[in-house]
Structure 1
Amino acid sequence: MSLFMGLVVFTGSRQVTRIGADRAIVVLLPTTLVLSTVLALWSWQAGGQPWFFGWFAVITVINSLRTFTSPLILAQAMEPMGELAGTASAVIGTISMGGGALLAMLIDRTIAGSVTPLAVAYAGYGAVGLAFALWARRHRTPSAITDPAA
């Protein structure tokens, strides 16, 4: 899994310089949401126990794409912070870790012999993340969105 994720990040970094971070985010976040929704439906249809290797492959792809997308989103969030970028990064990290732990705690309580709650959480939290990313994109300056170097 880690090798695949590393390959995605390595090859993806070359593509970002060509297409731009914003376009990569706009394509990859909906892709992970679609894959997560398909995974949730498949898991539900399989009674919470889909074929392990297929499930593992889809989870690996989703995690790889999210691992690749997260630094792009964080870099865009830090762009307007200037000298406060370090502090802002620490705040984002703290909120992400604490908030993620709380959200994981909610899902952890529902998993009992079924991966469906995990798959639904991937889709649900992915939808919320996409909504926030689209909201943030609307509030950026037009030059930052159209400039591939931004």
Structure 2
Amino acid sequence: MSREVQVSTVVALPQRQAWALLSDLELADRYVPGVQACKLTSRKRQGIGASRRVEPRGRPPMQETVESWDEGVGFTLRLHGTSSDEAPVPFADARFSYRLQAEGPKQTRVHLQLAYELRGGVLGQLLDRLAVKRASQSQLDRLAANLKTFYESQGRR
């Protein structure tokens, strides 16, 4: 059974400028809460197959690989281990999507979504109800706020 959490925020930037920031896959450590470093590990800098190593504070590093890419609009990342295709614990599968939508000439809505399945069958479902979904939603809410602040500060430069 697939679960998801999502949030959106409006940034005071035209979609073209928001895309320029979003499509730079090495910038995630500037706005993703708890991430101390982010570095490309593929020759591709953008598009399907581009991959980055993400180093969260206090947790093992993980890899994020682009699975879908819609130029100027968004992309989906598959989250997995640095040396395997397995999703990071507690997930059996996890994908993160970013989507942009123009909200007029100078504003863009950024949609963020984490879609996931947990390990552990019934126990995993219970864990989701008790903690994972709430923690994931909280993380997404903080991410949206940080992304808005970072993007808008870059737009003022």
Give the TM-score of the pair, scaled to structure 1.
0.33
Higher relative contact order (CA 8 A, sep 6+): 1
| Larger relative strand fraction | 2
Task: Please identify which structure carries the higher helix content.
Answer: 1
When Rg is computed on C-alpha atoms for both structures, the one with the higher figure is 1
